[in-house]
Amino acid sequence: MKALVYVGTSKKSLEERPKPAITAPTDAIVRITKTTICGTDLHILKGDLPSCRPGRILGHEGVGIVDSVGPAVTVFKPGDHVLISCVSACGTCVYCRKQMYSHCTTGGWILGNTIDGTQAEFVRIPHADLSLYAIPEGADEEALVMLSDILPTSFECGVLNGKVQPGNTVAIVGSGPIGLAALLTAQFYSPAEIIVIDLDDNRLDVAKRFGATATVNSTDGRAAEAVLKMTGGRGVDTAIEAVGIPATFELCEKIVTAGGNIANIGVHGKKVDLHLESLWDRNISITTRLVDTATIPMLFKTVASHKIDPKKLITHRFKLDQIMDAYETFGNAANTKALKVIIEA
């Protein structure tokens, strides 16, 4: 089969690999129909995630058709149309019992990280019963690819942890696919204002179209002043960090109002200063989270009922043969205006 392989820092190749086989009774093999590329795949290629070793097939998002199942798989059978969660979950370990699937002792985020992933014709899914979701007939596959990772990530780590409430003021720092998905899912709760901050005017225009009430281009380094001005000097109830660098987390520290929440989503590779000298008396909460994908079933319903349309995030489409071009397009978003790319296997 064809597969996109991480060769080493800044190196990847489209290779011929053997089709994966079932290695545990709880495994399923899924034939991929559609997959995509995540900002985290770019982090891996930069060498930011040492857990992912050279030789690994990348990808942790996708939909497909069950090809075969191990003898202990009870929910799925060959031919079933399924959505793949980016997180694999056994369902019985101490973390899974708390629905903290991201920390499953024999799963978690392993796909396209410590085991081969979805940017291939076939993938082996461990703990298939809990790591796959049945796709009802007639559902839009492309929209559902957004449910493997980016929608649950934005919703769980940003919107739920940030306690977005009706009438509140929200700032989302970062208008990439994750920040934009947070913008879509924050609107479930009808906040009064959603201010989106980024360096890229194209992405800020997209944010406006997706429901941002205001946008701030932070290139001049004065975003905190702009947000404080917009909020009568008070700041925002919820500041969602969706970039993953020190400057953007520190911006959240500056714009959170008394009693507010900072919800971090970004993957951070560098230390960040916590300014307790200005925050100790502000009654704020700071949360961090690795996506659990525990909200996939609920998000599924919001997509099926057209409460949100995650397909709006898709800007480009490629075939698996063209995945090197897909990476090129996705990696140069400032020029290509790419958000999410769909890769058809």
Interface contacts to ligand NAD, rule CB under 6 A:
39-40, 43, 149, 153, 157, 173-179, 197-200, 203, 218, 242-245, 247-248, 265-267, 289-291
- In angstroms, the first-to-last Cα distance of the chain is 10
User: For residue 172, what are the β-bridge partners?
Assistant: 196, 240
Q: Is 104 in the site for Zn ion (CB under 5 A)?
A: yes
Nearer to Zn ion, 96 or 164 (CB): 96
Nearer to Zn ion, 87 or 226 (CB): 87
User: How do strand 122-125 and strand 62-69 relate by DSSP bridges?
Assistant: unpaired
All residues at 6 or more sequence positions from 138 whose CB lies less than 8 Å from its CB, including other chains: none
DSSP letter for 159, please: I
Query: What's the closest the beta carbon of residue 159 comes to Zn ion, in angstroms?
Result: 17
Contact 52, 44 (CB under 8 A): yes
Query: What's the closest the beta carbon of residue 82 comes to Zn ion, in angstroms?
Result: 18
> Closest Cα to residue 293, out of 36, 96, 93?
96
Query: What's the closest the beta carbon of residue 254 comes to ligand NAD, in angstroms?
Result: 12
Q: Which of 26, 35, 40, 264 binds Zn ion (CB under 5 A)?
A: 40
41/327 Cα distance (integer angstroms): 9
Q: Is 130 in the site for Zn ion (CB under 5 A)?
A: no
240/238 Cα distance (integer angstroms): 6
**Residue 104 interface partner, choices Zn ion, ligand NAD, none, CB cut-off 5-8 Å depending on type:** Zn ion
Q: Which of 90, 170, 252, 313 binds Zn ion (CB under 5 A)?
A: 90
Q: Which of residues 143-162 bind Zn ion (CB under 5 A)?
A: 149
Q: How many residues does the chain have?
A: 345
**Closest chain position to ligand NAD (CB):** 176
273/237 Cα distance (integer angstroms): 21
Q: Is 182 in the site for Zn ion (CB under 5 A)?
A: no
Contact 240, 263 (CB under 8 A): yes
Nearer to Zn ion, 38 or 73 (CB): 38
Q: Pull the structure tokens for residue 285.
A: 């909460």
315/335 Cα distance (integer angstroms): 13
Nearer to ligand NAD, 35 or 248 (CB): 248
Nearer to ligand NAD, 39 or 62 (CB): 39
**Residue 96 interface partner, choices ligand NAD, Zn ion, none, CB cut-off 5-8 Å depending on type:** Zn ion
64/82 Cα distance (integer angstroms): 6
Q: Is 113 in the site for Zn ion (CB under 5 A)?
A: no
Query: What's the closest the beta carbon of residue 288 comes to ligand NAD, in angstroms?
Result: 8
**Residue 260 interface partner, choices ligand NAD, Zn ion, none, CB cut-off 5-8 Å depending on type:** none
The footprint of Zn ion (CB under 5 A) covers: 38, 40, 90, 93, 96, 104, 149
